[in-house]
Amino acid sequence: MTEFAAAAPAHAPVVEETSTGLNTRKVLMWTFLGSECMFFGSLIGTYLVYRGRYLPGQLIPKDVFEIPYTSVSAFALLMSSLAMVLALAAIQRGDIKRLKIWLLVTAALGLIFLGGQVYEFTSFGAQGLNPNVSTFGTSFFVLTGFHGAHVSMGVIWLLSLFMLAARGQLNQARSLDVEIAGLYWHFVDIVWIIIFTVVYLIPV
């Protein structure tokens, strides 16, 4: 009568030899994502505390944000999530060729997003907004910067998976490796969904 005898893991071909039947690394990843919610929650909370708290003469969001531009990179990240699930579906079918393609597409979309962020940061900097000028600058750059760092980690992770796949070391039985990376990647994407709305779209 265990509570957690219920479901087998989503995609693992064999049931794990654990009390819940769930893969240990996957449990770890989900607890990690719960923890990450608190990490980004604190950063977003900080941004919101300082939202609207601007001194006369300071640059405010309206002055610097370019919504069309950011929409495009937000879109790129969103689509990378699609590529990610397609990569997972591919490896679960045993289709290593498609796996490699979709992993590369995911990483590429991630890189496009990062490129957009680099451009945005430089352009804001040129207009005089940086982490040292105001609470807006500080909380904005640190929030989006840490998100960017997460995306970079994800890109590195995806590329390592690609290398493994290229060397023939990823196969259907190891689809969990891709699934776990995917969980991380989608999480980074949904954080951006929130940041995009809360930081960029909702006007002050």
Partner 1 sequence: MSAQAMVHPGEKPHPQSREYVILAIILSAVTGIEVAAWYWEAIRALMIGGVVIDLLPPVLIVLSAFKFALVVMFYMHLKFDHRLFSGFFLFGLGAAGFIIVVFIALFHFLRAPFPVT
Partner 2 sequence: MATIAAPVAQRGLLARPTEPTGLWSWLTTVDAKRIGILYGTSAFIFFLIGGLEALMMRSQLAVPNNTLVAPGTFNALFTMHGTTMIFLVVMPMGAAFFNYIVPLQLGARDVAFPRLNAFSYWVFLAGAVLMHLAFVVQTVPDMGWFAYANLTERAFSPNNAVDFWIIGLQVLGVASLAAGFNFLVTIINLRAPGMSLMRLPLFCWTTMITSILMVLAFPVITVALIQLMFDRLFGTNFFNTAANADPILWQHLFWVFAHPEVYILILPAMGIVSEVLPVFSGKPLFGYPFMVYAVASIAFLSFTVWAHHMFVTGLGPVATSFFAASTMLIAVPTGIKIFNWLSTAYGGALRLNTAALMAFGFVGMFTIGGLSGIMHASPPVDTQQHDTYFIVAHFHYVLFGGSMFGLMAGIYYWFPKVTGRLLDEAIGKVHFWLMFIGFNVTFGPMHFLGIDGMPRRIYTYPTGMGWDLWNLVATIGAFTIALSVLAFMVNAFKSLRSGEIAGPDPWDGRTLEWSVSSPPPHYNFAEIPVAAGRDAFWLQKYPTSGGHGTAVAAAHGDGSGHNAEHGEHVHVHLPDPSYWPLAAGGAIFLAGLGVLFYLPLIPVGLFLVIVSVVAWSLEPVNG
Q: Among residues 35 and 168, whose Cβ is nearest to partner 2?
A: 35
Residue 57 lies near partner 2 (rule: CB under 8 A): no
Residue 153 lies near partner 2 (rule: CB under 8 A): no
C-beta pairs of 57-62 under 8 Å, 24+ apart in sequence: 58/133, 58/134, 58/136, 59/127, 59/128, 59/129, 59/133, 59/134, 59/136, 59/137, 60/136, 60/204, 61/136, 61/140, 61/199, 61/200, 61/203, 61/204, 62/203, 62/204
Q: Among residues 41 and 115, whose Cβ is nearest to partner 1?
A: 41
From the list 3-11, 73-81, 99-107, 186-194, the region that binds partner 2 by CB under 8 A is 3-11
- Residue choice 1, 62, 167, 203 for contact with partner 2 (CB under 8 A): 1
Q: Which does 75 bind (CB under 5 to 8 A by kind): partner 2, partner 1, none?
A: partner 1
* Number of residues binding to partner 1, judged by CB under 8 A: 60
Q: Which tokens in the block code for residue 62?
A: 């309206």
* Number of residues binding to partner 2, judged by CB under 8 A: 42
Task: Lay out the site mask for partner 2 across 8-47 (x = CB under 8 A, - = otherwise).
Answer: x------xxxxxxxx-x--xx--xx-xxx-xx-xxx-xx-
Count of positions (residues) in the chain: 204
Task: Lay out the site mask for partner 1 across 50-79 (x = CB under 8 A, - = otherwise).
Answer: -xxx-x-----------xx--x--xx--xx
Q: How far is the CB of 111 from partner 1 (least distance, A)?
A: 19
Q: What is the DSSP letter of 174?
A: G
| C-alpha to C-alpha distances, 43 to 37, 137, 145, 184, nearest whole angstrom | 10, 13, 11, 18
HSE-CB at 171 with a 13 A cutoff on CA atoms is: 4
Q: Among residues 78 and 104, whose Cβ is nearest to partner 1?
A: 78
Q: Among residues 170 and 189, whose Cβ is nearest to partner 1?
A: 189
Q: Which tokens in the block code for residue 139?
A: 């909380």
